[in-house]
Structure 1
């Protein structure tokens, strides 16, 4: 039984009898899949395939049918219905750990080898923090999601099916666990007279810790961890009990200027309360008790559930010394139990240079590529970005002072759809929200998984989800239906393995698993030519590009050539330059994948043009692989 005191936890008592699941040799070999747990599965679906590929039948507890085309819009048939559907997106919908466990087969057959789960920790009681970022208890699971044992069972099931588990964690802040005192502070009110405690470098008086109803009725003072009679109810304030200490929090109000130093380090993340991590410079950082206890809490989850890695939220908003301390503690603990390559991914906003520098200084394993990469993938595939803009993201050796191909191979997690799309401001939209975008979503997935970096698929993309609107909720549709299903639906699920995007992605990922060159090889954007004489990199004409976009992956004298077609309507054929020294005139490249089955197995001859070249046909809105 897990107690309420971190200082009393004996981590070894939670170690699995059979030992810990080992880390992968190379994380760049993996395919990540990120889901919002509340929006993924509630375990009540029917008609999908279980882990053993059996069709799940209807029962007393399983009643949700699979989505059909006529279900689109079934939740918004009247203005009142539409309002209910939209409001449902702000609240818990019902996804849970057992539901996710039941879909491990769906993920495995897709080709996923690592699942990244939104935070599962217990949330403040009085807010609808379904996203998981409002933590009230760092060593317990949110009851709406399940139990600690449910998490342990999920990880066991995933490991048995060759899937690693990455938890989304937060140590920059807690949930909304206390309230500032609004009395006698007229200077901190907005134009409507509401109390608006914004960072100005000074401390704000605190009225009290919040109780489970959100009222600051609990004295804001240090609790004696060794005297249980002073402890509050488990749904009140914050837990473990050590965190019931005012010195653990900066108490300086919310961030208003997100790039103002030290405001973005000291301020609250909206109403989420900033944690005091310590003081000092990078090399002489003195961690606070709060940071030490947070490190212990996350070590507990590794020990208890056999977790394989963490995605760390809001790294920009923490001192580099704090991040380095946490990374060192976690890596040392993981190595001590045999997880030699425990993976730590940082969400580092502020551009590539900040991300590269932060990795170097802190020891994080990788950065989440949420700045330039998503935009370049999405709009290149849609025909509105120059290909070099994307491929050059992986070649800037001058910026990172490293040999770029090796460095980028396993230091950035790449994706194009995600759960908040900071880059799009208030105009949120999944890839498939644009007209006809479903025709080319496979190309976006192919570009993502077949180029450098560790690829990550955002849940629902493989089913063509098209959420869009002025709020994050529209990017967080429920895969299992509920009251806030995808395509403005309700009461139907989307675990459809017959969907053409799902099926084609599964084929592509199978090829990636079989070909090490596609996981670890160098990559090159290739020149093209219409006449076989005049070659140049593909680029936009005017404001768009409708042609073949080819690239190569090369590893130890082995080259594989890949290409997408940004023309939605017709096949494009182009001469494509390939490595001059790896091929001889008269050799052949064979098509091992094409969105047009007629091209599969076809061979194309290597000719002496611009060094060496091949004439590659790519179907309309299609993707091909030649080796």
Structure 2
């Protein structure tokens, strides 16, 4: 009887392994990558009972690691420099029997893939929340088997915007003068509710079917390429969604922090820099869950760290990205973030990464930027960071009444802190984004202040990012994220207002469209704005003057907050304008024959290209 039972167990084991391998991630790779290392996550029932083998010229099977969960294997490969694209079989054997086989592909890299140019100060980025922009394919509004369907009446529901809608709208974005697009996350978020925002990923290698497909994501990039525009992907290393497939069968106990107990983070992000911080508090921030629906991934686990790093590289190569925006930057393990940014830039030296560190303290934000010498010896390699200190200063400085320490001086003093950044010119600057009240609302729904703010962000140092709908005065009554991320008018059939055609759009909104288009299209070729130095002068009498300049070019910008026009005598600015005699105001198109005095209309900005 014992022998029969033993034989039965063996047969069951063989039969289980003989089932198909459910997942191999990354699902493919490329020949000719800079790094020779590739680690495959293999998932399948009792897959660790099998031995692994493969035979392909130029590939060395370095190691196979079995972990706590027998349904996982981690297979480490070494790829040779002269490796050719092609397919090979990964075989899983028990004894002499091939229990399972997986066909793996090595693709050919696109020409000059490693040398792609990332987004930079020559760009203006349009930030889009895909679910709320344009519903280009009503056929994917409801997807069988997914946990949440469409409910456009609910501010936190899915409204149906998708990749097809963005593809169909690229001419509109291009005509407005945008040169890059940043999409809030488009990967699968198969969550029971509020899945529209994309920040609770349930599959790191799959576009959410309600947005479209991986192939449509690539199509979007092709269409952007035709227009000379760039694509930035929103990634999240800190957490996944609670419905992620591995949450039902985790590889290791420490794959997720504080599981299954669930401890919410203390959100004290300064603990990363605090020289007096206790370790218990640091762990409480870094290892805590962002919210209960977003399990905190443990980047100190070397297999998870490798998984995330490879995933980011996979998307860059697969889609052809020019940038990554990394969510909740200070929450993951900071040593892993250093390794990631370093490895990513070794693969793509001219690539750009921007991180979200929501702090008003430039010392905290600058800590993460590439080239920063920190007192604790920490080095990170992110070329860009989101400039939250400047955003706050502009919103407050425009709205506050002028005084010794309030008003335009707040903008001036925010920029005076640029000495803390290794490269202030590569910071990503913005009037607002998807997580805060729209800038129009922040400045009291004052159209003139909005225009002044836009002129500033489009001409000061840094890489401007504008949120979709700013150009048509999108507003919101509530302050919840679901209200801020409202539907773009004209993106749905039957909309009474259509921002694309102008139908039903107010005259004020049309004027802002024209205003944004004028500045952004001029900016495309204004190399002095891209590469020039910044010199500013202390605000006086409700006006603020600054210059972007090189040895051969100069642009003068004057912001006037006053309710009346101001005539600015320019001899105060001689160290920049000496030798320049005339100019052209780019918003109005008017020629200024004598720049010794500049008239600035009430509550407005002027942008003057100077001529000798």
Relative to the length of structure 2, the TM-score reads 0.71
Query: 1:616 Cα shift?
Result: 1.4
Distance 1:582 1:477, change over 3 A: closer
- State the secondary structure of the residue aligned to 1:358: coil
Q: Is 2:601 aligned against 1:589?
A: no
Distance 1:156 1:367, change over 3 A: same
Q: Which residue of 2 aligns with 1:538?
A: 540
Distance 1:19 1:39, change over 3 A: same
Please identify, of 379-388 and 291-300, the stretch whose mean Cα deviation from structure 2 is larger: 379-388
Q: Which has the larger radius of gyration?
A: 2
Equivalence map 1:453-492=2 (5 Å): 453-480=462-489, 492=497
Q: Which residue of 1 aligns with 2:458?
A: 449
Q: Is 2:408 aligned against 1:387?
A: yes
- 2:434 pairs, out of 419, 426, 429, with 419
CA distance in 1, matches of 2:342, 2:227: 30
In 2, are the aligned partners of 1:382 and 1:566 still within 8 Å (CA)? no
In 1, are the aligned partners of 2:202 and 2:240 still within 8 Å (CA)? yes
Q: Which residue of 1 aligns with 2:513?
A: 502
CA distance in 1, matches of 2:29, 2:534: 47
- State the secondary structure of the residue aligned to 1:28: coil
Q: Is 2:332 aligned against 1:313?
A: no
In 1, are the aligned partners of 2:528 and 2:550 still within 8 Å (CA)? yes
Equivalence map 1:151-166=2 (5 Å): 151-166=217-232
Q: Is 2:9 aligned against 1:27?
A: no
Distance 1:398 1:417, change over 3 A: closer
Equivalence map 1:139-158=2 (5 Å): 139-158=205-224
Q: Is 2:380 aligned against 1:362?
A: yes
CA distance in 1, matches of 2:119, 2:156: 38
Query: 1:622 Cα shift?
Result: 2.0
Q: Is 2:352 aligned against 1:352?
A: no
Equivalence map 1:96-135=2 (5 Å): 96-135=162-201
Q: Which residue of 1 aligns with 2:295?
A: 273
Query: 1:18 Cα shift?
Result: 5.7
Q: Which residue of 1 aligns with 2:561?
A: 566
Query: 1:356 Cα shift?
Result: 0.9
Q: Which residue of 2 aligns with 1:512?
A: 523
CA distance in 2, matches of 1:604, 1:41: 47
Query: 1:514 Cα shift?
Result: 2.8
Aligned CA RMSD, in angstroms, stands at 3.0
Count of residue correspondences:
471
Query: 1:116 Cα shift?
Result: 0.7
In 1, are the aligned partners of 2:265 and 2:290 still within 8 Å (CA)? no
- 2:285 pairs, out of 257, 264, 271, with 264
CA distance in 1, matches of 2:319, 2:119: 22
Q: Is 2:500 aligned against 1:523?
A: no
- Unaligned stretches of 5+ residues in structure 2: 1-20, 32-105, 140-149, 269-280, 373-378, 503-508
Distance 1:21 1:164, change over 3 A: farther
Q: Which residue of 2 aligns with 1:248?
A: 255
In 2, are the aligned partners of 1:346 and 1:368 still within 8 Å (CA)? yes
Query: 1:496 Cα shift?
Result: 4.7
Distance 1:307 1:583, change over 3 A: closer
Q: Which residue of 2 aligns with 1:230?
A: none
Query: 1:124 Cα shift?
Result: 2.4
CA distance in 2, matches of 1:465, 1:8: 41
Query: 1:170 Cα shift?
Result: 0.7
CA distance in 2, matches of 1:246, 1:442: 53
Query: 1:125 Cα shift?
Result: 3.8
In 2, are the aligned partners of 1:430 and 1:468 still within 8 Å (CA)? no
Distance 1:86 1:303, change over 3 A: closer
CA distance in 1, matches of 2:214, 2:341: 24
Query: 1:365 Cα shift?
Result: 0.9
- Which runs of structure 1 show a deviation greater than 6 angstroms over 4 or more consecutive aligned residues? none
1:288-318 CA-partner distances (Å, limit 9, x unpaired): 2011011122222122111111100111112
Query: 1:582 Cα shift?
Result: 5.0
CA distance in 2, matches of 1:589, 1:482: 44
- Unaligned stretches of 5+ residues in structure 1: 45-59, 62-83, 179-207, 211-217, 223-244, 279-286, 335-339, 422-427, 528-536, 540-546, 606-613
In 2, are the aligned partners of 1:166 and 1:309 still within 8 Å (CA)? yes
Query: 1:506 Cα shift?
Result: 1.6
Query: 1:11 Cα shift?
Result: 3.4
In 1, are the aligned partners of 2:266 and 2:288 still within 8 Å (CA)? no
Q: Which residue of 2 aligns with 1:94?
A: 160
Q: Which residue of 2 aligns with 1:194?
A: none
Equivalence map 1:10-25=2 (5 Å): 10-12=29-31, 13-15=106-108, 20=113, 23-24=116-117
- State the secondary structure of the residue aligned to 1:296: helix
Q: Which residue of 2 aligns with 1:408?
A: 424
1:196-255 CA-partner distances (Å, limit 9, x unpaired): xxxxxxxxxxxx976xxxxxxx4x554xxxxxxxxxxxxxxxxxxxxxx44311125242
Q: Is 2:323 aligned against 1:322?
A: no
CA distance in 2, matches of 1:551, 1:496: 36
Query: 1:326 Cα shift?
Result: 1.2
CA distance in 1, matches of 2:111, 2:175: 27
Query: 1:526 Cα shift?
Result: 2.5
CA distance in 2, matches of 1:129, 1:577: 57
CA distance in 2, matches of 1:429, 1:448: 15
In 2, are the aligned partners of 1:15 and 1:303 still within 8 Å (CA)? no
CA distance in 2, matches of 1:111, 1:381: 25
1:376-407 CA-partner distances (Å, limit 9, x unpaired): 2223334544323213323336545x6xxxx2
Query: 1:92 Cα shift?
Result: 0.8
Query: 1:154 Cα shift?
Result: 0.1
Distance 1:583 1:434, change over 3 A: closer
Q: Which residue of 2 aligns with 1:376?
A: 393
CA distance in 1, matches of 2:573, 2:553: 10
